[in-house]
Amino acid sequence: MRQNQGSAQSLSVAFPRPSYSMAFLFFIAFCCLSLWSLEASASNLKADITIANNYLFRGLTQTQDQAVVQGNIQYHHPSGISVGLKISNVDFRPGAGPKRKAVYTDNENIYSIIYRKNVSAVGFEIGATNYEYPSGGGPRFSEFNGGILYRNFRLGLNYDEEHENLYSEIAYAADINETLSWRAHAGYYEFKDSAALRRVRNFNNYADMSIGIRKKLSSGFVWGLDFTETSLDTNYSDEYSRFVISLNKAFDLLDALQ
């Protein structure tokens, strides 16, 4: 579910889809960056795989509280530009209780391009993210992203221009020791027409919060545990809080293919 489209998982609200697909534009950008930096080492092409008991997007489940397998590929250019593709299974079918009214199941492709620049101790980033569902069932949309990074903190804004929805967030991450770290996140989702959403599904602007730990294992895997809470009202009580357990493995893609 991408709730910046009016809570697609829980609402049968129809929104116009863009007449264009940004997937091709991201593909072209990826090819140009690759040709632009032939001298870059293979370590600039990263990948990771994640297995988890749930897939949460801004506090809300995307898999009906079922398991998820995600793959992520990113190319980092020395100039500070990164291009990425993340693929995940999603499940928005009815069947998780009477409060759910979504009608589709699909895979999700997330294309992203971002530019990062450090100025002294402060980092800046600006980019765009495109969410697509190949089977056509999902609410394809795009966001402009911006962020400021200072020490262990990150402030971010994500704006969906077509539907005029805004997600603001703050995150913190720090190492406890060489193999253990912790992180915290808080965000606020503001919808342009939250009054209409309340009439359809008692859905409103809401906040989400999470705290978690990461443990590096000797095998190279990273084990994660996160607790997430939202401020949604009692009419959406099945979306209040969740624990997510995950296992992640990152690697240099070209080295893995050799």
pLDDT at 233: 65
pLDDT one-digit tens code per residue, 65-82: 899 999 999 988 888 889
DSSP-derived 3-state class of residue 78: coil
pLDDT at 252: 85
* Structure tokens, 7: 């809570």
Residue 256 burial (C-beta neighbours within 10 Å; 0-12, 13-18, 19+): exposed
In this prediction the pTM is 0.81
How far does Cα 199 stand from its chain's mean position? Answer: 27
Average pLDDT value over all residues in the chain: 80
pLDDT one-digit tens code per residue, 69-128: 999 999 888 888 898 999 999 987 654 444 444 445 678 999 999 999 999 899 999 999
Query: What are the structural domains, with CATH classification, of the chain?
Result: 3-257 (2.40.160.40)
Other CB atoms within a 10 A radius of the CB of residue 62 amount to 24
Name which of 1-10, 82-91, 132-141, 178-187 the model is least confident about. Answer: 1-10
